[in-house]
Amino acid sequence: MPVMTDFDLRDLPQRELADGEVRIANRWLSVDPYMRGRMNDVKSYVPPFQLDAPMDGGAVGEVIESKAADLPVGTRVQHMAGWRDEAIVPAKGVNKLPDIDLPEQAFLGALGLTGMTAWFGLLAVAEAKAGDTVFVSAAAGAVGSVVVQIAKAKGMTVIGSAGGAEKVEWVRSLGADHVIDYKGDVPLVKALGAAALDGIDVYFDNVGGDHLDAALAHANQGARFAICGMIDGYNASQPTSLRYLMRVIAARIRIQGFIVSDFMGRIAEFQQGMGEIVAGGNFQREETVVEGLENMPDAFLGLFSGQNKGKMLVKL
């Protein structure tokens, strides 16, 4: 687990903009579990953070100075130069916020990469369809809570898992048919068996470890597993062993990992589909907000002890 002394808040000197760049006052910053992986000096799908250089990540803010004709001062934008209050970014690294009547931070959550992860992981990777029984772990988290709601909107039976009574209640209020408190007394594999009497057709994995093992134990023939994340292992020093892994063979389970960036070419499809669900009026867009740049490491570390309901955000 990272510690506070791994982080440092530093003032850097201002610099002039070059042609094609904009200066952005950030208003909302995203903290995400994948950032933990970037703290390991290993090759992965995103490069590791560099020591003594600013961290980065998703952010939403407003252009306050511009040398890019199509991004005038006042434009509200989403970009990847987070973990700072002010950013200089080339125009090509910036997305204008769409003209939708939602708070701007929604574009770091349900209407942004978080929502896209849920949408494509469930519908494209796991090929979930009406009538399927879907199990989703970290169901009270940013991605998980959107998965629950998409699955319900599309006629699936949903089993979620979350840590603690309050989160369990909240996931139920999102429409989940059964919710397991994985921190409760009943072992997860037993609790899932009791919730999924007819087995599961889809597992949306945010956690790995015991959750993945329990899903293997109760998977139906031809079940599809979308492996989105394995937060249980991000700070672990020991690999987990899976007791039920061999069920992959007998039950012909298809296990597919994915990265949301695989679906960047299909943003329009996501915006259309998710827009319809949000416009339906029942969608719960929950967020946990920590105030102040200096508290960003706290917000980030809080992801690993379940401090958030819905999307964890930092407000400046």
Residue ranges that bind ligand NDP, judged by CB under 6 A: 32-34, 114, 117, 138, 140-144, 162-163, 167, 206-207, 228-229, 231-232, 258-260, 303-304, 306, 308, 312
Query: Considering only CA atoms, which of 192, 235, 229 is closest in space to residue 213?
Result: 192
By beta-carbon proximity to ligand NDP, the closer residue of 176 and 260 is 260
Whether 86 and 24 have beta carbons less than 8 Å apart is answered as yes
For residue 255, give both structure tokens: 């296990």
By beta-carbon proximity to ligand NDP, the closer residue of 155 and 187 is 187
Residue recorded with tokens 């009574």: 165
User: Smallest gap, in angstroms, from Cβ of residue 141 to ligand NDP?
Assistant: 2
User: Smallest gap, in angstroms, from Cβ of residue 228 to ligand NDP?
Assistant: 4
User: Smallest gap, in angstroms, from Cβ of residue 165 to ligand NDP?
Assistant: 11
Whether 30 and 58 have beta carbons less than 8 Å apart is answered as yes
Strand order in the sheet with 254-257: 178-181, 157-162, 133-136, 200-205, 219-227, 254-257
For 267-305, give the DSSP string: HHHHHHHHHHHHHTS-----EEEEESGGGHHHHHHHGGG
By beta-carbon proximity to ligand NDP, the closer residue of 275 and 306 is 306
User: Smallest gap, in angstroms, from Cβ of residue 232 to ligand NDP?
Assistant: 4
By beta-carbon proximity to ligand NDP, the closer residue of 68 and 171 is 171
User: Smallest gap, in angstroms, from Cβ of residue 272 to ligand NDP?
Assistant: 20
Q: How many residues does the chain have?
A: 316
By beta-carbon proximity to ligand NDP, the closer residue of 26 and 114 is 114
By beta-carbon proximity to ligand NDP, the closer residue of 75 and 206 is 206
- Strands 133-136 vs 157-162: parallel, antiparallel or unpaired: parallel
By beta-carbon proximity to ligand NDP, the closer residue of 94 and 168 is 168
Helices 113-120 & 267-279, crossing angle to 10 degrees? 100
Give CA–CA dist 128/111, Å, rounded: 20
The amino acid occupying position 307 is Q
User: Smallest gap, in angstroms, from Cβ of residue 73 to ligand NDP?
Assistant: 32
User: Smallest gap, in angstroms, from Cβ of residue 185 to ligand NDP?
Assistant: 16
